[in-house]
Structure 1
């Protein structure tokens, strides 16, 4: 899709509510909420969402809502953080599923952040270490960023966009935190 479409005015209140939940989940409150927008537009997130948008959102006919637990299990089962399929900067994406695209986004955002003193600093994905909740928290936070950015894109580009389901997903964020 050429050019950025604007989000219809009537959809903005629903997105604002979801944005506020994202801010709270990431640990930014009232006078700090603008910092979340800075993260979303930063070099740590923006280029990877641009790729996700180009290679998944703009070409698929049926978008999927990526469940965090499903993505977490997928990344764990395919060893996504060590697999060239997801760590490569230019993998062959033929036949990729929504989970593949989401895993690629997540792996790249976290790796880039870890290596460049970004927002997420833990340094590794370690789901088998019960005492290391920081790894799980970072995973959940980047998933939430992806879901929010996808919601913005959908609100701007999908005629039948509805917040139902998505608002529940974000309302459940706080209860799903590791």
Structure 2
């Protein structure tokens, strides 16, 4: 059964557009290229993994969390997430005791591994921040986290009554300026 398209209230669209514009810059797309970001968000290397995240986390939890990029990075690094079957496997594991970090980690790991294995938008091929001289794996990690946060923001705008935005634009703008 196909998911029903939920209409986002008009008053929330400005915050979403600002976040989308900032996400586009973060992904390296400028004004005439912004449609490429939407193609990534809706494409085969992101959409099925977000569908799992949405179903197993966003729609299943009473309260959802906004996962901090640095916290997720430390979690993935300290838990060797790219080698753990519960995050890597194409089979959906039992998630009864999973935290928000577990769900975000699985999304991020699955998106990057799929992209690396299938010639997708990210092609560095590994997550090894300790030996990454050009910081390419860090860049890919941060971009996929930003995509997750944006897609979660879209979902929240459409589904959470008390939504007021989450500062994603400011977070990404700060990350962008720290890279320049």
The bucket for the TM-score relative to the shorter chain is over 0.9
Give every structure 1 segment of 4 or more consecutive aligned residues whose post-TM-superposition deviation is greater than 4 Å: none
Q: Is there any run of 5+ residues in structure 2 with no aligned partner, and where?
A: none
- The residue that corresponds to 1:131 in the other structure is 133
- The residue that corresponds to 1:172 in the other structure is 174
Q: 1:6: Cα distance to partner?
A: 1.2
1:145 maps to 2:147: yes
1:54-96, Cα deviation, whole Å (9 max, x unpaired): 0000011111110000000000111110110211121121200
- The residue that corresponds to 1:53 in the other structure is 54
Contact kept, 8 Å, 2:22 with 2:169, in 1: the verdict is no
CA distance 1:56–1:164, shift in 2 (3 Å): closer
Distance 2:157 2:134 in 1: 36
Distance 2:109 2:101 in 1: 12
Distance 2:41 2:52 in 1: 14
Contact kept, 8 Å, 1:8 with 1:155, in 2: the verdict is yes
Q: Is there any run of 5+ residues in structure 1 with no aligned partner, and where?
A: none
Structure 1 vs Structure 2 CA RMSD: 1.6
**1:72-91 alignment, distance < 5 Å:** 72-89=73-90, 90-91=92-93
Distance 2:62 2:178 in 1: 29
Contact kept, 8 Å, 2:23 with 2:169, in 1: the verdict is no
CA distance 1:63–1:119, shift in 2 (3 Å): same
Q: 1:169: Cα distance to partner?
A: 2.1
CA distance 1:82–1:177, shift in 2 (3 Å): farther
Distance 1:80 1:25 in 2: 24
CA distance 1:130–1:113, shift in 2 (3 Å): closer
Distance 2:7 2:179 in 1: 32
TM-score (normalizing by structure 1):
0.95
Contact kept, 8 Å, 2:40 with 2:46, in 1: the verdict is yes
CA distance 1:83–1:177, shift in 2 (3 Å): farther
